[in-house]
Chains A and B, each alone.
Chain A
Amino acid sequence: MRRAVIAFTAFLGGLIFLLAGPAHAGPADCQGLRGTLNFQGQPVNGARISVTTEDGKPVAEATTDAQGRWDVQVEDPGRYKVTLDVGSLPQNAEARGGTNVRTLSVYEGNCSTALFPLQPKGGGQDQGQQSDDNSAFWTRAAQLTFEGFNLGLIIALAALGLSLIYGTTGLTNFAHGELVTLGAILAYGFNAGMGLGLIPAAAIAVIVAGLLGYLQDRFFWGQLRRRGTGIIAMMIISIGVALFLRYLFLIVFGGQTEAYTQYNAQPGVQVGPISAAPKNFVAMGIELVVLIIVGIALLRTRTGKAARAVADNPALAASSGINVDRVVRIIWTSGGAIAALAGIMLGLSQNLKYTMGQEMLLLIFAGVTLGGLGTAFGALIGSLVVGLFIQVSTLWVPPELKSVGALAVLIIVLLVRPQGILGRRERIG
């Protein structure tokens, strides 16, 4: 056991040195203003920002890059006025509440962030007549439902693995978000680094991630289980793994946001009230197909049935002749692979960052708990609910707070029905 853990740690450690590629310098010393412009989840390229002193003396101008970022360094600390040129925004976008000017303080050696939330034109409150408002609302509702479904499917992919691992081993895996990031970054490596097309890159990434999932169980979690490590200790160990991997990604990938080299800026397609890039439709198709395949595998195949049996009651399953270790290993392998797929899809619909999985982890937890810890189909339904809720709630809630709503719902659901939607109550005694 000792040897196995050391070997695994050494293996991961070795990765740092093997993969430590070109350095990505972050902003070391920063004194000024910066921000990121996003519109409907996509970065806004080429928007003009001008910075003046409080009394209107021009200081600098900046234009947002492909990631929607802009950055202005200033000589002296003090109050500055930041103006967003509304004319440089995409045609259908406007600043929320019409506020395109912000005044901020810059402190010595620090950067302040100026945010300009954007919204689609016509989504505003005081435009047009009542009937127009109404139809605009429903168009937006349809659009958000679509986006929510998309997000929900991605969460579901990630949640399936987490839920099955929890069900079969009792591990609440805080490092599952990093498996999602892993997939996205691997695909990026094959895509941008090695010049493969995104589709073959994604396929290889999924396979590699599955393999890493297998190795992780074979040489790490499996060994810990054999030692009889308690579930709380394992939960905290998974936090260690999460930190380890997250900062490994930071070293290897860097702290910036990236996009795949293909299918990057696709023009939107209008389908009924919904407008989206074709890649989103394709991605959703793939997600649905994978989920259906996994679902059928769980329902129909021997291994799938065994997996559900183990998740249901490991002791009973073991006593009725199911090789629990083998089932768990298969779950780790496939769980790692589909989590990676979730990461790739997430990278496709948003952007890649070394914290992308971590940021989604709570939503995955929300989906899993909502559906009932350890139930595969519960995780699916829970995730879709979470995804839909997050997006549709932005009809009433500011988008930056949309996760707050989802997390609040998670807490409330746990109060009312702690066993989740599909979970069952435990017997005491």
Chain B
Amino acid sequence: MDWITIFSTTIKSAVGVETVLYGIAAIGLNVHFGYTGLLNFGQAAFMGVAGYGLAVTVVVLGMPFWAGIIFGLIAAVILAFLLGIPTLQLRADYLAIVTIAAAEIVRLVFRSVQFKDVFGGSDGHRGFTEGFYALNPYPTGNYGFNLGPIPLFFNHRTMWVITVGWVLIALACLIVHLLMKSPWGRVLKAIREDEDAVRSLGKSVFSYKMQALVLGGVIGSLGGFIYGLGYASVQPDVFGTETTFYMYTMVILGGAARVLGPVIGSMLFWVLLVLIYGVLSEAVRVGYITFMDTNQVGALRWILVGAGLILLLVYRPQGIFGDKREIAIDAR
């Protein structure tokens, strides 16, 4: 078994592109679900419109990179309003269904043949990242160090993406921290507990929910940019419902309504996933496991995600580090 590679990929995944992009999108989801109690099952759509906003601006309209970022952000804000104005008055479970439906609509439109000229159909778009990598301060080469026998290196492109990503995560966490300590955050948490009580105290519940939806959506959209830049492509099916479900797993794993919860959740999620996949697929390759092939190992780890989500909510709804008394989800 090639333990060196397994450990190398596992340790790298703790800070890698996937951890960054899911972590940041999960911070946005935490604003929705953890703090405000909004069951937004369409977070992937926020990532999608942002990634596509960037890609379409650069590839189809031929505009520069930064214009793409601006359009992506605007698209996320517009989506938040489109989603929020009708649905924020609905009951929690209706909101869940409507957001999931809306996200599915977004995905289906992105992948449709009808709009292939704009969104590129099921293959999506590529070739919109030059502007971003032109800003790369890292000269060509590999960066990192050897941890004993284990090499931990990223190339200059990946370095640039994850540097930007972690800066964005730090910023997002700082903003969420400041907001949730403030009276504004207090209103959000109160809405999560009981909307009618908040209304009876003279706060416009709708307005606050909308602000939370926009904030979380915009933070989520940053994850979409990181995806597009990190993988140099956007594809519609990446922004499907399962992506949102994985983010829920991360938020709950790290502890809902905790500032660093989603980030820790994303790190744990990917480390575990990569480790399990690495060990099992190596075991298959070497011949220790004979009843599965590598594809099935790939599926098996998602089975484990499902089982993990179930067990978490049953036994530790407050997350790995959470405090049982202040769990955001009413699990008892």
Contact = CB atoms under 8 A, between A and B. Distances in A.
Q: Do chains A and B touch in the complex (CB under 8 A)?
A: yes
B291 interface: yes
A124 interface: no
B320 interface: no
A251 B309 CA distance: 19
A410 B87 CA distance: 12
Interface stretch (B107-115, B159-167, B202-210): B107-115
Given A229-B332, A428-B196, A240 B105 contact: no
A383 interface: no
B329 A236 contact: yes
Contacts of B201: none
A227 B332 contact: yes
A113 B295 CA distance: 21
Secondary structure at the B interface, as helix, strand, loop or mixed, is helix
A251 B304 CA distance: 13
B93 to A, nearest CB: 5
A130 B300 CA distance: 57
Contacts of A244: 303, 306-307, 310
B98 A401 contact: no
Given A240-B306, A244-B306, A414 B86 contact: yes
B283 to A, nearest CB: 14
A411 B101 contact: yes
Interface string B289-332: 00111111001101101111111011101000000000001111
- Chain A interface bracket (under 10, 10 to 19, 20 to 34, 35 or more): 35 or more
Interface string B100-141: 111011001101111000000111001000000000000000
B97 A243 contact: no
A282 interface: no
B108 A414 contact: no
B120 to A, nearest CB: 10
B245 A24 contact: no
Contacts of A411: 86-87, 98, 101-102
Contact of A400 (B97, B114, B248): B114
A365 B331 contact: no
Contacts of B332: 227-230
B291 A17 contact: yes
Interface string A237-259: 10111111111101100010000
Interface in B76-106: 86-87, 90-94, 96-98, 100-102, 104-105
B252 interface: yes
Contacts of B242: 243
Secondary structure at the A interface, as helix, strand, loop or mixed, is helix
Nearest to A229: B331
A53 B139 CA distance: 37
Given A17-B291, A362-B104, A404-B108, A172 B302 contact: no
Interface in B197-245: 242, 245
Interface in B172-194: none
Interface residues of B, number: 57
A418 B296 contact: no
B169 to A, nearest CB: 24
Contacts of B111: 400
A362 B300 CA distance: 25
B253 to A, nearest CB: 12
B305 A243 contact: yes
Given A112-B123, A230-B332, A240-B308, A407 B299 contact: no
Contacts of B90: 414, 418
A271 interface: no
Interface string A387-413: 000000000001011011001101100
Given A20-B291, A236-B329, 20 more contacts: A9-B307, A9-B310, A12-B307, A16-B303, A20-B292, A105-B126, A228-B332, A233-B330, A236-B313, A240-B305, A241-B310, A244-B306, A248-B303, A251-B299, A369-B97, A398-B113, A400-B108, A400-B113, A411-B102, A429-B196
| 5 closest residue pairs by CB, A with B | A244-B306, A240-B309, A243-B306, A230-B330, A233-B331
Interface of A: 2, 5, 9, 12-13, 16-17, 20, 23-26, 28, 104-105, 107, 110, 112-113, 115, 117, 172, 224, 227-233, 235-237, 239-248, 250-251, 255, 362, 365-366, 369, 373, 398, 400-401, 403-404, 407-408, 410-411, 414-415, 418, 428-429
17 contacts: A2-B315, A26-B295, A28-B295, A110-B123, A115-B113, A172-B97, A229-B331, A233-B330, A236-B309, A237-B309, A241-B306, A243-B302, A246-B306, A247-B299, A407-B101, A411-B101, A414-B90
